[in-house]
Amino acid sequence: MSDASCLFCRIVAGEIPAEVLRETERTLAFRDIAPKAPVHLLLIPKEHIPSAAELEREHADVLADLVQDAQHLARAEGVDETGWRLITNVGPHSGQEVFHLHFHLLGGRPLGALVG
């Protein structure tokens, strides 16, 4: 299921270009257009899920795929040994701007405290 008004659903549909780094049957990973670190990738399920708050047991496989994609991409981007962060935001107070579940993979420099 997709949402025609959702930016990430439109990227999945090929309507909006993105620098895709990895694609599977259930997931898509691409570079963030406003990176906050030397490595800043977005990993999303192809299915429209608004945020982690809407996850159900039926989403277990796609979550496993997203984590495995993150592991693969961390190696491919050369941050697997120095360290990387995988984070998702839920709701406006957390900073969520696109209401489609997504994980930020950040690395390439010391990231410091999670909340400053």
Active site amino acids: 102
Alpha-carbon distance of 33 to 58, in angstroms, equals 31
The tokens describing 31, both together, are 């570079």
**Which amino acid belongs to residue 72?**
H
- E strand map for 6-102: 20-23, 27-31, 39-45, 84-87
The CA-based dihedral angle spanning residues 58, 24, 106, 6, taken in that order and rounded to the nearest 10 degrees? -70
